[in-house]
Amino acid sequence: MTRGAAKKVTIYLNEDTPFHGGTLYEAILEFLLHKGVAGATATRCMAGFGGHHRMHTPKIELLAEHLPVRVEFVETAEKVEEILPTLYDMVNDGLIEVQDTTVIKVADRDRQAAQPKRPHERRQGPATLMRIFLGEADKWHGEPLYDAIVKKLRLMDIAGATVSRGILGYGAKGHTHKQSFLHLSRDMPVMIAVVDTPEKIQAATGAVEEMLEDGLIVLSGVEAIRLVHSLRAAEAADG
């Protein structure tokens, strides 16, 4: 699996639905494993009902083994198209759902640990420096605004962001913010510094503007030199 567009397949069936001497959900998992699907999960639900309009719940002993099971997996569109006809034939009592989805992160700790270390990769070129000035007490949906902005930048695949807390400053309103023994300010100035390609910074600027109610965004053209560890380079190649 790599980052990008994918398909999510969900199969709804009953735990005791038979298939060639075993259960159907186990046969489906074995089939997906055999076909090289990245991963699949079978979840046993607490209660439910289906097309037969009969409630299944562990409170009723006779129906406890007839509880609903949900099998889910995410794969490429090509892989789903390959295995879907067989799944269609296997599920003789249930429901198959296919949705468009987007994979935003693929992490495999075992694979990363097994990769041999390579020399660092050096990248140099024009970039844009974005500096965001705001107050420490600013909020976004109940959480600190600076924290929410960093999370947003990370989801946008921005190369990195650094949050700095000031010790003294004032803004457009002319209010001085400082910290001392006798005055512990809860609204110290905060600056977030971000460097990435001009295209990515342009998109990030629009996203930050929507979150920033009272602050300042400064953009500067810079020359960036970035040293990338081989593991990061491999991840970028996979993505």
Contact partners, residue 51, CB within 8 Å, separation at least 6: none
Are residue 77 and residue 127 in the same domain, yes or no? no
For residue 175, is pLDDT > 60? no
Rounded (10°) CA dihedral 200, 202, 208, 213: 170
pLDDT tens sequence across 203-226: 999 999 999 988 899 999 998 887
Residue where a domain stops, chosen among 53, 78, 106: 106
> Are residue 125 and residue 172 in the same domain, yes or no?
yes
- The two counts, helices (H) then strands (E), for the chain are 6, 14
Residue 46 sits in which domain range?
4-106
Neighbours of 77 (CB within 10 A): 12
**Do 72 and 136 belong to one domain?**
no
Give the pLDDT confidence of 138-148 residue by residue, as tens digits: 999 989 999 99
Which of 106, 136, 158 is the last residue before a domain boundary? 106
How many domains would you assign to the chain? 2
**Last residue of some domain: 106, 132, 149?**
106
- For residues 141 and 87, state if they share a domain: no
151 shares a domain with 76: no
More reliable by pLDDT, 203 or 2: 203
Residues 127, 234 share a domain: yes
Do 131 and 203 have their domain in common?
Answer: yes
Which of these, 78, 17, 77, lies nearest to 42 by C-alpha position?
17
- Examine the domain organization and report whether 229 and 150 are in the same domain: yes
Angle at the Cα of 184 from the Cα atoms of 178 and 190, rounded to 5 degrees: 50
Could you tell me which residues come within 8 angstroms of residue 175 by beta carbon, excluding any fewer than 6 positions away?
none
* Nearest-angstrom CA–CA distance, 125 and 29: 48
The secondary structure of residue 89, as a DSSP letter, is H
128 and 93 in a single domain? The answer is: no
User: Is residue 47 domain-shared with residue 141, that is, in the same domain?
Assistant: no
Query: Are both 102 and 125 inside the same structural domain?
Result: no
Distance of CA 149 to the CA centre of its chain: 15
In a domain? residue 112: no
Q: What's the pLDDT tens digit per position in 67-114?
A: 788 999 999 999 999 999 999 999 988 899 999 999 988 776 665 555
Q: Report the C-alpha gap between 217 and 172 in whole angstroms.
A: 13
Burial class (CB in 10 A: 0-12, 13-18, 19+), 203: middle
Asked if the structure places residue 69 within a domain, the reply is: yes
For residue 13, give both structure tokens: 């069936």
Please report, for the domain that includes residue 145, its CATH number. Answer: 3.30.70.120
- Indicate the average pLDDT of the chain: 81
Residues 127 and 93 in one domain: no
Q: How far apart are CA 191 and CA 177, in angstroms?
A: 14
